[in-house]
Structure 1
Amino acid sequence: MTKFSLGGGMSRRTFLQVSAAGVVTATALGGVGRANAAPYSKFTWISPRGTLEVLDDYPYWIGKKMGYFADLGVETDMQPGPSDGTATVKFVDVGQADMGFPSPGVFSFALENGMKLKSAFHMGAKDTFSLAFRKGEGTNDLKTLEGKTILLGSAAWQSIVDPMLAVQGVDVTKVKYVEAGWPTWSTALKAGQGDAALSWEGLRAEWIGTGLDFEYWLGVQHSPLFANTFVVRAADLEDPDKKAFLDKYLRAWAMGMEFAYNNPRAAVEAVFEQFPTLASNIGPELGVTSILQQINVFRGDMDKRAGWGDHDMAAWQTFFDKIHELGQITKPVKAEDVCTNACIAAANDFDHDKVKADAEAYMLSDAFAAIDVENVRAHLYDQAVPA
């Protein structure tokens, strides 16, 4: 069994070795360069998961299709990045990408290692993360995982799981982690190589499409934490021209999220058009299941939010306090120093009625038109471990 640490105990040598690996892999990102004046020559968003062939980024793809990104004046680019779970922050830090999508734990890794990044748009208002178990072996009492093994796709994901377990009263020093690799950590669970595996909303549906039928402890139902966020270089938010660009760029994402909320089937179609292999692997119904799971996470309790992307600073402070207690960060972090709602008003300043009309006017294919969205919604959590 392998146990690893991503907290304050990570040595400078270890961090530099990982960084070097990321930089070497940068050549695979299509020659993404540092941001230039005016204010960006090209704007690159980088994935945390080593692939773009997922439904998670649906606001971008439907936004591109509907022209919501058209007035930015520069090319916008999506890159999968290396499968190293921390690449999404390292590439932004050194200027090889402009925006990353880390989990809160990986964001804390960036802060611990001196990266001058800020969360500018909190995508995941609820906790997307879950623990998968083989059928009949699941539990709603996570304390029973003490002494057992959790499988991860990347070592960096320990920074996701530790706080998730800790807030449930688990002694994380008694949990074993094994890095089983991307995308094989799920099949390793099926093969009996661990007791549980990290998963997340949306991915659950995709796993069903590949024959992986597990049961889940669902963070979206049980966890007080939250999910991934968009981070940028702090200096970019201080530059008036770049800040104005970020406002417009994030507005396009918010419009894509609003569109999908009103017509989730159309958003799935847009992703499937981009990635035909994904479409053939999971099909329309599981695609709609996946996107509805993610919409719940991204939307959160919108009545209590200032709009798409709004940070709940009290919740973020609770998170930082907990990971400091765990030793995942060695110094206290003030949420308002590293998270900002400065872009939120501008990002949500769009014609909501027009976006809704766009969504309602979208002509679905026959396969998607046949899907009963409310019936799918009623069964989103059928895989949850029985109470």
Structure 2
Amino acid sequence: MFGLDRRSFVGLGIAAAGALAAPRFLMAQEATNTVRWVSPRGTIEVLDDYPYWVAQRFGWFGDIQTTLEPGPLEATATIKLVDQDQADVGFPSPGVFSLGLEQGIPLKSVFHMGAYDTFSFAFVKGKKPADIKELAGKKILVGSIGWKAIVDPMLAQVGVDPASVEYLEAGPIWGQALQQGQGDTSLCWEGLRAQWFGQGMDYDYILPYDFSKFPANTFVIRSSDFEDQAKKALYENYFRVWAMGLEFGHLNPRATTQIVLEQFPALAGTLTPEIATESMMQLGKIFRGPWEQRQGWGWHDMAQWQGYFDTIYQIQQITTEMKAEDVCKNDYIAAANQFDQAAVQKAADEFQLSEDYSKVDVAAIQARL
């Protein structure tokens, strides 16, 4: 999603956040037309949330009062803040979501963003193994030890015993630590992969499309909000706007990227338009997923989620069997996808690209994805 996470996302103690200062969050509000969204990655100055910034640019949220908060870089912060009513929508990885459920946090996944798994393994050039099963016995660099809950199921689904690997927590510089030879591989994800390349970290990868059948990050809300019929229309409208932003991103990735980087000049200074657009398109591929098999933006594939829950139960990451249909809900999806397609298409077609972005070769990027 990443910036950190997208998923970045799983885990156990706030100690992992270390000296990172937590931002101030809006406390519970009386307003019934307010939705407070919290990131799992410690920053919002990333491309991951492009549907939101596109929607803001065009005023699609209308009178919905929205906030987008970065959240502390602690694996489970995004769900804890939702549970504590300091945010309304969190964006956890499946691992963080399931750990929250295991701990009794009453959550529902209501808009599934990451239809493809997003996580990959990075390797110094020439060190990528021929088979992912060769990760057994390796040292894996992560930003937070909590990400163990992301990687363990990834390994288990391909037959690697998670107990056979060693995790090395390297904080925000875990990607650079791989360059320095501190581990055999590093956890990465789509979107971040392109950004690392733009920052001079040119790695080889085992990509999620090569091995994983798991879902990626999802939008969760409190179960009490899901069960509150008075809030149904608000969430349908809110997620409809995200769906519009996702559609715009699919139609015009260059415009989408330009919009985000105009929002964050500091980020723009670290990425060329081509690298930034490739990062956005990697994310867009994850969000769109196997489109012909989906019933619109945000739709949960229950078999995919059940396969994930079954795997983490088998490796004892959770101690209670979970049923996907109990915690993953498609109730908002039909309404969320009932937006004016022609209006979004018009906005995408008429957007005025800058000279730099007009030169970006989208077809060439698409071929690399």
Instruction: Work out the number of aligned pairs and report it.
Output: 358
Residue 58 of structure 1 corresponds to which residue in structure 2? 50
**CA offset at residue 221 of structure 1?**
3.1
Amino acid paired to 1:351: D
Quote the sequence identity (%): 52
The equivalent position to 1:201 in structure 2, one of 186, 190, 203, is 190
Residues 84 and 154, structure 1, Cα contact 8 Å, conserved in 2: yes
The equivalent position to 2:27 in structure 1, one of 28, 33, 48, is 33
Do the aligned partners of residues 140 and 275 (structure 1) sit closer, same or farther apart at CA in structure 2, a change above 3 Å counting? farther
Amino acid paired to 1:64: Q
Distance in 2, matches of 1:374 and 1:322, equals 37
Amino acid paired to 2:209: V
The equivalent position to 1:233 in structure 2, one of 222, 228, 243, is 222
Do the aligned partners of residues 94 and 80 (structure 1) sit closer, same or farther apart at CA in structure 2, a change above 3 Å counting? same
- Calculate the TM-score normalised by the size of structure 1: 0.89
Task: Show the 5 A alignment for 1:1-150.
Answer: 18=13, 28-36=22-30, 38-40=31-33, 42-72=34-64, 74=65, 76-150=66-140
The equivalent position to 2:284 in structure 1, one of 292, 295, 299, is 295
Aligned CA RMSD, in angstroms, stands at 1.8
Residues 14 and 74, structure 2, Cα contact 8 Å, conserved in 1: no
Amino acid paired to 2:121: L
Residues 35 and 98, structure 1, Cα contact 8 Å, conserved in 2: no
Distance in 2, matches of 1:100 and 1:256, equals 18
The equivalent position to 2:351 in structure 1, one of 355, 362, 365, is 362
Amino acid paired to 2:147: W
Secondary structure class of the residue paired with 1:281: coil
Residue 308 of structure 1 corresponds to which residue in structure 2? 297
- Calculate the TM-score normalised by the size of structure 2: 0.93
**CA offset at residue 370 of structure 1?**
1.1
Secondary structure class of the residue paired with 1:371: coil
Residue 332 of structure 2 corresponds to which residue in structure 1? 343
Distance in 2, matches of 1:315 and 1:52, equals 28
Do the aligned partners of residues 44 and 29 (structure 1) sit closer, same or farther apart at CA in structure 2, a change above 3 Å counting? farther
Amino acid paired to 1:146: A
Do the aligned partners of residues 177 and 334 (structure 1) sit closer, same or farther apart at CA in structure 2, a change above 3 Å counting? same
Secondary structure class of the residue paired with 1:192: coil
Do the aligned partners of residues 269 and 240 (structure 1) sit closer, same or farther apart at CA in structure 2, a change above 3 Å counting? same
Amino acid paired to 2:348: A
Deviation per CA, 1:365-386: give whole Å up to 9, x if none: 1110111210121123xxxxxx
Distance in 1, matches of 2:114 and 2:337, equals 16
Distance in 2, matches of 1:306 and 1:31, equals 34
Distance in 1, matches of 2:293 and 2:368, equals 26
Distance in 2, matches of 1:220 and 1:29, equals 35
Residues 143 and 171, structure 1, Cα contact 8 Å, conserved in 2: no
Deviation per CA, 1:79-129: give whole Å up to 9, x if none: 111111211111111111111111101111111111001100000000111
Residues 120 and 187, structure 2, Cα contact 8 Å, conserved in 1: yes
Residue 163 of structure 1 corresponds to which residue in structure 2? 153
Do the aligned partners of residues 362 and 97 (structure 1) sit closer, same or farther apart at CA in structure 2, a change above 3 Å counting? same
Amino acid paired to 2:86: Q
Distance in 2, matches of 1:19 and 1:195, equals 26
Distance in 2, matches of 1:294 and 1:20, equals 29
Residues 19 and 90, structure 1, Cα contact 8 Å, conserved in 2: no
Do the aligned partners of residues 323 and 43 (structure 1) sit closer, same or farther apart at CA in structure 2, a change above 3 Å counting? same
Secondary structure class of the residue paired with 1:48: coil
Contiguous gaps of at least 5 residues in structure 2: 1-10
Distance in 2, matches of 1:357 and 1:31, equals 36
**CA offset at residue 220 of structure 1?**
2.5
Secondary structure class of the residue paired with 2:42: coil
**CA offset at residue 20 of structure 1?**
9.5
